[in-house]
Amino acid sequence: MTLFPDSDIPPKKKYPVNGYAAKPGGGPDGKTCKGCRFFVIRPNGSGSKRFFKCGLMRHEWTSGYGSDIRANSPACKEFKESE
């Protein structure tokens, strides 16, 4: 049951993520971005949020969601096991 069934508010959308060094899924089977040495967790200025980034794409990082990646995305062809 929804609180306001006739509401015109659209459902919340997921933000697009375009910060991958290569297309996800081209790396080793069973590996994800969070297991890669290039996976970076970047806090915002106040530390209340965390943004997942690919270190290989540092030159393209923005202050928004456009350069984020998903931690559980399948590993790409640039995957290197974290130490």
Say what the pTM is: 0.78
Confidence at residue 70, expressed as pLDDT on a 0 to 100 scale: 94
**Cα(23)–Cα(49) distance, integer angstroms:** 25
What are the 10-residue block averages of pLDDT along the chain, 83 residues in total? Answer: 62 79 94 96 84 95 89 96 89
Confidence at residue 64, expressed as pLDDT on a 0 to 100 scale: 80
CB 70 within 8 A of CB 32: no
Confidence at residue 49, expressed as pLDDT on a 0 to 100 scale: 85
CB 30 within 8 A of CB 70: no
67 Cβ contact partners less than 8 Å away, ≥ 6 residues apart: 18, 19, 53, 57, 60, 61
- Going by C-alpha positions, the residue among 19, 24, 30 that lies closest to residue 69 is 19
